[in-house]
């Protein structure tokens, strides 16, 4: 088992890269779309709400299958890793979008109206009033979403993309020691997810304490 540890560590690194790419791209797209979903353009709000609700009702594994088997038929040629990354980002963006939209909605309208009454422009209100408070609210939600997306990367092994779960299956077949292998892999996933989960708890506790403080 110890002889296989470097191989598992290599798979762990591949999972970390896939997770980082998924989280970074989902954050970029989700924050932008979350801001749009909080705007005044009703058709765009409805379209984004439909997207979020649709993704919520479909398992992420289905998106991975669709991307893996359908994209080549449309003439889009990507590597297997980029194909599953696209599927994970499509899924992750919807989660981030809803986190951001909810955080912006949680900022009181009274504060926005007060900022406008003080002569702030819409952009100034967004930057100086809405964004800081929304970021505080959204941060723990986004960290929990990141943990969820890390776990979702394990599904890509089903379509043959090599990462930690796929490496674990190979090592299990070679060593015939499934318990030891899976326990090691469990600890590797835990090492990625636990710090983010604890940070989310601390940020949520800090935000809750700030809300309890008298104005």
Give the domains, in start order, of the chain with CATH numbers: 2-210 (1.10.3720.10)
Return the closest-CA partner of residue 16 out of 172, 160, 149. Answer: 149
Return the closest-CA partner of residue 158 out of 68, 88, 71. Answer: 68
Cβ atoms of 191 and 27 closer than 8 Å: no
Cβ atoms of 185 and 105 closer than 8 Å: no
Is 10 or 209 the better-scoring residue by pLDDT?
Answer: 10
Give backbone dihedrals phi and psi of 78, rounded to 5 degrees, phi first.
-125, 160
Terminal-residue alpha carbon distance, the chain? 58
Q: Which tens digit of pLDDT belongs to each residue from 188-212?
A: 999 999 999 999 999 999 888 776 7
For the chain, give the mean pLDDT: 92
Q: Which tens digit of pLDDT belongs to each residue from 37-76?
A: 988 899 999 999 999 999 999 999 999 999 999 988 988 8
Confidence (pTM): 0.92
């Amino acid at each position: 088992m110890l002889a296989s540890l470097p191989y598992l560590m290599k798979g762990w690194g591949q999972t970390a890269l896939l997770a980082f790419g998924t989280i970074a791209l989902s954050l970029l797209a989700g924050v932008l779309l979350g801001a749009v979903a909080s705007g005044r353009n009703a058709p765009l709000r409805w379209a984004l709400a439909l997207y979020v609700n649709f993704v919520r009702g479909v398992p992420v594994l289905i998106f991975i299958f669709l991307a893996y088997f359908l994209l080549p038929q449309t003439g889009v040629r990507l590597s297997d890793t980029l194909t599953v990354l696209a599927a994970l980002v499509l899924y992750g963006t919807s989660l981030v979008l809803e986190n951001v939209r909810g955080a912006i909605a949680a900022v009181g309208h009274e504060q926005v109206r007060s900022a406008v009454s003080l002569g702030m422009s819409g952009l100034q209100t967004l930057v100086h009033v809405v964004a800081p408070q929304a970021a505080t609210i959204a941060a723990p939600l986004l960290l929990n979403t990141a943990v969820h997306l890390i776990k979702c990367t394990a599904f890509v092994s089903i379509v043959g993309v090599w990462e930690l779960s796929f490496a674990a299956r190979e090592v299990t077949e070679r060593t015939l020691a499934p318990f030891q292998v899976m326990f090691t892999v469990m600890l590797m996933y835990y090492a990625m997810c636990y710090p983010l989960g604890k940070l989310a708890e601390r940020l949520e506790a800090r935000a809750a304490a700030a809300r309890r403080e008298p104005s």
